[in-house]
């Protein structure tokens, strides 16, 4: 008999840790190679971790809700015959399950005389001023894990790091490089100490809901966006009467022919993609000493579940037809709601369009999807009396388009022209002028 280890895989290029949301096996269960062992949640994707071996579950080292760095051991499996040749399958199986980048464990063992720590461990040590050289690790090769540090913090016996012996800040860059993070054009922000939890009185009958990893990631990204990007906001109203008549006239035949619904949102995304091509300044990002104007037009779309928000990306949206965009919207939304969205399907977005109108909203101020420079909220299409050019009053289908912008990157003039162009495209969408194919 031999004992083999299953480690936390890297479920995405810039992912450095994951949370065990649910164990699918128990100690003593027999599993086959590639059988799912656990559901893991990161800030980018949910995925199942498959077994790299056939055998019996020996120990579940991580508990549900535990967050571990990439490469940390989550469980052990007892295999017959000790066939070590199966070990390399761990990374390939996890990568295949997540349809993501290849698995690269973050090393934290000794290399020569210098210890290396995972980003998660280093951050926690810096926040609590812990001298890592005084902590005994329980991981492979004496590696220090987040669980080790949490035990030290809970014990109250914290070995304090002096100015000469504090946790090496440069280790963040070294270890992050080993985890193959996504290329960054902007300088990395300095890690800020975690804010103390607010003291909220809890009365009888109140319900305490634990904050999930996805909700923490959403909170961190939204806070960073509001803290770093000076938000400005503008809105235009658009007469989409012709668009509504055009879409309603062909939606039934389209559904029978294509097998999915043709939504109004596909027309809006197409119009935005076309306008971004004409106003490339909007398709930019702040990078400290420079602004990066992105070549590709990749539209992020916000898709909500009951307790989270995801932003899958329609790549090269300007090159796609309305039908093609509609198909991608349908497929990406389905993947989000069934937990099958892959990490790479949320990467590379350059501008976000949010369909707030699906909830009945008529006016809203979106928070920019960092590090993008703007987000457009498409509100509900409502019938309203409108004064026409001839002075007559008519009932028209109207929609508000609300744009939030990063005022470091964009100014009102270019944003006003961009919105005016989107408005023009939509108001001139009709059977006579627009093809969905």
- Catalytic residue check, 91: no
34/222 Cα distance (integer angstroms): 36
**For every one of its 437 residues, what pLDDT tens digit does the chain have, with 9 covering 90 and above?**
799 999 998 876 667 788 888 899 999 999 998 888 998 887 666 778 889 899 999 999 998 888 888 899 999 999 976 544 444 444 444 444 444 533 333 344 344 334 556 656 776 787 788 888 888 887 656 778 777 888 888 787 787 765 444 444 433 333 433 333 344 444 444 444 455 667 789 899 999 888 877 777 788 888 989 999 999 999 999 999 999 999 999 999 999 999 999 999 999 999 999 999 999 999 999 998 999 999 999 999 999 888 778 899 999 999 999 999 999 999 999 999 888 888 789 889 999 999 999 999 999 999 999 999 999 999 999 999 999 999 999 999 999 999 999 999 999 999 999 999 999 999 999 999 999 99
Tokens 């000493």 found at: 289
Q: Which of 253, 296, 307, 411 is catalytic?
A: 411
- Catalytic residue check, 411: yes
Q: Which of 227, 253, 296, 407 is catalytic?
A: 407
- Cβ burial of 314 (10 Å; 0-12, 13-18, 19+) is buried
pLDDT at 61: 92
Nearest to 21 by CA among 267, 223, 211: 211
Say if residues 7 and 90 touch (Cβ distance below 8 Å): yes
User: Which residues make Cβ contacts (< 8 Å) with residue 88, sequence separation at least 6?
Assistant: none
Prediction pTM value? 0.64
pLDDT at 351: 98
pLDDT at 157: 79
Nearest to 20 by CA among 43, 7, 34, 39: 39
* Beta strands 351-354 and 299-301, pairing class: parallel
Phi, psi values for residue 182, rounded to 5° = -65, 145
Going across the sheet that includes 55-60, the strands are 2-7, 73-79, 55-60, 30-31
Nearest to 151 by CA among 49, 276, 66: 66
Say if residues 69 and 107 touch (Cβ distance below 8 Å): no
19/213 Cα distance (integer angstroms): 7
């Amino acid at each position: 008999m031999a004992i083999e280890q299953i480690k936390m895989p890297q479920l995405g290029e810039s992912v450095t840790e994951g949370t065990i949301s649910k164990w699918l096996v128990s100690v003593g269960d027999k599993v086959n190679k590639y059988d799912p062992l656990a559901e893991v949640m990161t800030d980018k994707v949910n995925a199942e971790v498959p077994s790299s071996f056939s055998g019996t579950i020996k120990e579940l080292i991580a508990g549900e809700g535990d967050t571990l760095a990439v490469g940390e051991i989550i469980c052990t499996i007892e295999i017959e015959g000790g066939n070590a040749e199966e070990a390399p399958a761990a990374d390939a199986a996890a990568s295949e399950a997540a349809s993501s980048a290849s698995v690269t464990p973050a090393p934290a063992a000794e290399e020569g005389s210098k210890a290396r720590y995972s980003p998660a461990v280093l951050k926690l040590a810096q926040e609590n001023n812990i001298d890592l050289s005084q902590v005994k690790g329980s991981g492979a090769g004496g590696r220090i894990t987040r669980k080790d540090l949490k035990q030290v913090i809970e014990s109250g016996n914290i070995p304090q790091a002096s100015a000469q012996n504090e946790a090496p800040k440069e280790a963040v860059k070294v270890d992050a490089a080993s985890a193959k993070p996504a290329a960054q054009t902007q300088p990395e922000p300095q890690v800020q100490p975690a804010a103390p939890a607010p003291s909220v009185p809890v009365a009888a009958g109140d319900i305490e809901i634990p904050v999930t990893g996805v909700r923490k990631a959403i909170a961190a990204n939204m806070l960073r966006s509001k803290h770093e990007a000076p938000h400005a906001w503008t809105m235009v109203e658009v007469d989409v009467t012709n668009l509504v008549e055009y879409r309603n006239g062909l939606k039934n035949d389209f559904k029978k022919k294509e097998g999915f619904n043709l939504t109004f949102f596909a027309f809006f995304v197409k119009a935005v993609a076309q306008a971004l091509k004409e106003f490339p300044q909007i398709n930019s990002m702040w990078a400290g000493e420079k602004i990066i104007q992105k070549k590709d037009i990749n539209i992020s779309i916000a898709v909500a579940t009951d307790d989270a928000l995801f932003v899958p990306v329609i790549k090269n949206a300007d090159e796609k037809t309305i039908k093609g965009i509609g198909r991608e919207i349908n497929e990406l939304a389905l993947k989000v709601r069934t937990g099958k969205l892959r990490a790479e399907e949320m990467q590379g977005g350059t501008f976000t369009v949010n369909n707030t109108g699906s909830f009945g909203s008529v006016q809203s101020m979106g928070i920019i999807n960092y590090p993008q420079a703007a987000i457009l909220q498409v509100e509900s299409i409502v019938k309203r009396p409108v004064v026409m050019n001839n002075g007559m009053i008519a009932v028209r289908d109207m929609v508000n388009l609300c744009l939030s912008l990063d005022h470091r990157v964009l100014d009102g003039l270019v944003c006003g022209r961009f919105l005016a162009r989107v408005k023009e495209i939509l108001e001139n969408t009709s059977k006579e002028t627009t093809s969905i194919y």
